[in-house]
Amino acid sequence: MIGVRNRFRDSSTAQLLTEAECWLWDLTELDVDLEAAPESWAYPDQTRAFALAAIEDLNAELARRDGLRSRSTAPQWPSSWIDRRPDAAAIKQSVDLITYIERTCGVVFERRGREVICLCPLPGHDERTPSFSVHPEKQVWYCHGCHRGGDLFTFAMHVMGTDHFADVLQALTDEVVGDRDLALEGVSLG
């Protein structure tokens, strides 16, 4: 089948797996709802049939790609069901600001009340007394010396030296997904 005629052409294999997983959850929740209240779905049979047809389509495409995996030009198969599309909210939840700053800049924080402080690690600010503070609960930072502040993404933009939010989001996504794959599989997706 040539790409343009395949409606799954623009979806990564990870996305297809995720989509199939979502349909399976829909089916599962449908059954749970019906057990609790038989009238909770107006057309349960049609809904179930629609979900099963969608899963069948996805499985057919996955089987087709599976058959091509050994070809030298075939892209790498995802090692787990992870959606690799950048999601800013999910990244913010899974990346702790303090841990990120410590790891990328090698600074040491000390606690001051509700905040933690350290020597400002930002480019262009070389200081002797700590004026860079992070609020762990709010996951925000501010430097009382160079008067810059923000969240995880603004910090990463300063450190990576870019004004492009999308670049930073993609870099952090790759990092988070890479870490999780390492933890789950013991191998890197590369």
Question: Which range in 13-21, 75-83, 115-123, 178-186 contacts Zn ion by CB under 5 A?
Answer: 115-123
Options 88, 98, 146, 157; binder of Zn ion; rule CB under 5 A: 146
Length, in residues, of the chain: 190
Whether 155 contacts 101, CB under 8 Å: yes
143 touches Zn ion (CB under 5 A): yes
Q: Residue 12 — φ and ψ, nearest 5°?
A: -75, 160
Q: Dihedral angle at the C-alpha atoms of 39, 43, 47, 48, nearest 10 degrees?
A: 70
Options 120, 152, 156, 168; binder of Zn ion; rule CB under 5 A: 120
Options 145, 151, 153, 160; binder of Zn ion; rule CB under 5 A: 145
48 touches Zn ion (CB under 5 A): no
Strands (E), the chain: 110-112, 115-118, 132-135, 140-143, 149-150
Question: Which range in 61-69, 70-78, 88-96, 145-153 contacts Zn ion by CB under 5 A?
Answer: 145-153
The distance from CA 185 to its chain's CA centroid, rounded to whole angstroms, is 17
CB nearer to Zn ion: give 105 or 189: 105
Show the binding pattern over residues 69-108: x = contacts Zn ion (CB under 5 A), - = does not.
----------------------------------------
Among candidate residues 2, 113, 132, 7, the one with its CA nearest the CA of residue 60: 7
Q: Footprint of Zn ion on this chain (CB under 5 A)?
A: 120, 122, 125, 143, 145-146
